[in-house]
Amino acid sequence: MPTTRLNELIPILQVAVAPVILISGVGLLLLSLTNRFGRAVDRSRQLVRELREANATDRRRLNEQVEILYQRARLIQFSIILAVMSVLFAALLIITLFFTALMRLEIAVIISLLFIACLASLITSLVIFLMDIH
């Protein structure tokens, strides 16, 4: 196994800072998304309780509201899944950066693909989040 000197690892540490910051930022996004998801679930449960005691006119209105909340919850859930995937790709990217430095490999294509996958997941998550807000 080839040895890697500390002065060779320092540039890798510097490169790994960007994905670490991305993980931190996506963590805050996940906090916001999970709060929105929890509020949608809580509100839908409250409406379902009200639905049991409602008359026919109110039931139709409440059913429509519950359906809208379920659609929103599904969007938020999908957005959460994609944000988590983005964090996982970022973590894999960091591991790959260190692995390539330690093993002295040249796998720039894999590193690029992991970074692209990370950002693509994040962008898709944000677009779905916008769909929920809209």
Give the model's pLDDT for residue 3: 58
H helix intervals, 1-134: 6-52, 56-103, 108-133
CB atoms within 10 A of CB 121: 21
Per-residue pLDDT of the chain (134 residues; tens, 9 = 90+): 555 566 777 777 777 788 889 899 999 999 999 999 999 999 999 998 888 888 888 888 988 999 999 999 999 999 999 999 999 999 999 999 888 888 888 888 999 999 999 999 999 999 999 999 88
Question: Would you say 83 and 122 are in contact if contact means Cβ atoms under 8 Å apart?
Answer: yes
Give the model's pLDDT for residue 6: 65
